[in-house]
Amino acid sequence: MPEIDNKHLDKLHELEKSLRKNTSELISLAIDEVYNKQKATELNDGQKRDKHHEIANNTAKALDELLITTNPVITEVCHILLKRQGIKAQLSFMNMYKLGAFEVFELKKQHRERIVSLMNQYADLPMDFADASLVLLAEYLEHGRILSTDCRDFHTYHWKNAEPFQNLLFR
C-alpha cells in the first residue's frame, strides 16, 4: 500500500502537536502534499494544474479556526482524489483526518427527514447527499461559513431556508 513519504509524515507529526492552536498549517501542508503529487503526475502526462490549489492553500494558511465536515463529504473527497490524482492524494487526505485536521459531524437518525427535504427542495440543481449534509451542519452550527469550490450550488443553497452561505474560499 502506498504511503506518504517520510519527509511529509514527519512534518504532519510536528504539526499534530500544535493542531488545536493552528489547524491552518496542517491543512496547508496537506493541500501542498496533494498538489505536489498532482504536479509530478502532470509532468508525466501533461494534465492541467487544479485552478483552486493556490486559493485553497492561501485560505487555509489564513484560517485560525477549527474546521468541521461530514462523512458524506469525506467520502466524496476520497472518491474525487482517487479518481483525479490517485491513491497517494487520497491517503494524504486521510492522514489529515487521522491527525485531526478537521472534526466530523455525525449524521443521526433524526437528521434523515431534513436531508431528504433539502434534496427535494434543491432537486433542480440537483443537491447531492454531501451538499445536503453540509446545509444540515450549517443549521446545526447556526452559521453558513463554508470552504467549497462549488460556488454555484453554495450560492444557491440557504441554511434554515433563508440564510445565505459565506464561502471563505472566494471572499
Residue 53: band (very low, low, confident or very high) from pLDDT cuts 50, 70, 90: low
- Say how far apart CA 171 and CA 167 lie, in whole Å: 6
The full set of domain ranges for the chain reads: 6-105, 109-170
Average pLDDT over every residue of 41-61:
62
Residue of 159 and 46 predicted with greater confidence? 159
- Per the prediction, the chain carries an average pLDDT of 80
Q: How far is CA 67 from CA 5, 24, 93, 103, 134, in A?
A: 25, 9, 14, 6, 12
Q: Confidence class of residue 43 from pLDDT cuts 50, 70 and 90?
A: very low
CA-nearest of 1, 159, 8, 171 to 92 is 8
Write the single-letter amino acid at 119.
Answer: M
Which pTM value belongs to this model?
A: 0.73
What pLDDT, on the 0 to 100 scale, is given for residue 112? 98
Apex CA 156: angle with CA 50 and CA 117, to 5°? Answer: 115
> Which among 143, 162, 165 has a CA at the least distance from the CA of 154?
165
pLDDT at residue 4, rounded to an integer: 64
pLDDT for 3 equals 59
Q: What's the pLDDT tens digit per position in 71-125? A: 999 999 999 989 988 999 899 999 989 988 899 999 999 999 999 999 999 999 9
**In sequence order, what are the residues at sequence separation of 6 or more whose Cβ sits closer than 8 angstroms to the Cβ of residue 66?**
23, 102, 103
Angle at 160 between CA 154 and CA 162, to 5 degrees: 70
- pLDDT, residue 170, reads 81
